[in-house]
Amino acid sequence: MRILLGSLVAAIAAVAALNMNGGAQPLQDVPLATGAPSSPIVAELFTSQSCSSCPPAETLFSELAERDDLIVLEWHVDYWDRLVHGRAGAWKDPFSNAAYTKRQRDYNRALRGTGAVYTPQAVINGVQEAVGSRRSDVEALIQPARHATTAVSVATDGTTSRVEIDDYVRPLAREADVVQLTLLRDQTTSVPRGENRGVVLTSKNIVLEAQTIGTYDGAAKSVAIDLPDGEYECAIIIQEKQGARLGPIIGATYCG
């Protein structure tokens, strides 16, 4: 019964996501884009190794991670960790984090008007969402941001690395967060238990840590950072917010 209930909840949530998409007004006080984008497209996937409908989404986002015009991020949520799948038991995703579940809920409050969540969920540029395993829907949303963005880069001089952020098109009404993400570039996992027992998952750019390293008000800025060890990648995103609500990503880059 728990298996059926878990699958039913996931199915209902996915349908609700499609029905409600666009039903809430996203937080978007930044101006519309008027020219060529300054930053790559940011494609985020909320997923779990304990979710049986997530492997196709992880495969899709692994492919997208090869594109030069995208910043691809994989956030592992924790609400599937306690699901018991009959004799297969439960599997706790080793990359899951309650903070990433909160990030997903904050997005859904802004984009869908609800704190309810589902997996797999894709969020593009912080302002649009879709079921993450639906290739045609995701690819339709992967377009240059409709809002203005700013150029971001990471420069290293000797032992010092800095994030360089250009001027925005106008001062921001409120400061945006500058966030450094530590990423696991490639991960292959053979899941021994739970809904995905026996499935081999291939993931790219799993978020291991998210740290706010500063704020941005629209004026050019330089922020010193520590780069992760060589086996890890890092990314920088600049994101508008209002309280717990997340808004548009107005700048992004990989560190490497």
**DSSP letters for 108-165:** HHHHTSSS---SSEEEETTTEEEETT-HHHHHHH-S--SB----EEEEEETTEEEEEE
24: three-class secondary structure by DSSP? coil
Rounded to whole angstroms, the Cα distance separating 16 from 14 reads: 5
State the maximum Cα–Cα separation within the chain, in Å, rounded to a whole number: 59
Percent of the chain residues topping a pLDDT of 70: 89
112: confidence class by pLDDT, cuts 50, 70, 90: very high
Give per-residue pLDDT as tens, 182-192. 999 999 999 99
- Are 75 and 179 a contacting pair, CB within 8 Å? no
Any idea what DSSP says for residue 220?
Answer: -
Q: Tell me, what amino acid is at 244?
A: A
The helix/strand count (H/E) of the chain reads as 4, 11
Q: What is the pLDDT of residue 182?
A: 98
Helix H or strand E segment including 64? helix 55-64
Task: State yes or no: pLDDT of 177 exceeds 80.
Answer: yes
Rounded to whole angstroms, the Cα distance separating 124 from 148 reads: 14
Pairing state between β 245-254 and 232-242: antiparallel
Which residues 6+ apart lie within 8 Å of 43 measured at CB?
61, 64, 70, 71, 72, 73, 122, 123, 124, 138, 142
Choose between 84 and 113: higher pLDDT: 113
Answer yes or no: pTM beyond 0.85. Answer: yes
Question: For the chain, which residues make up each domain, given as ranges?
Answer: 2-254
185-213 burial: b if 16+ Cβ within 10 Å, else e: eebebebebbbbbeeebebbbbbbebeee
Rounded to whole angstroms, the Cα distance separating 11 from 14 reads: 5
Task: State yes or no: pLDDT of 49 exceeds 80.
Answer: yes
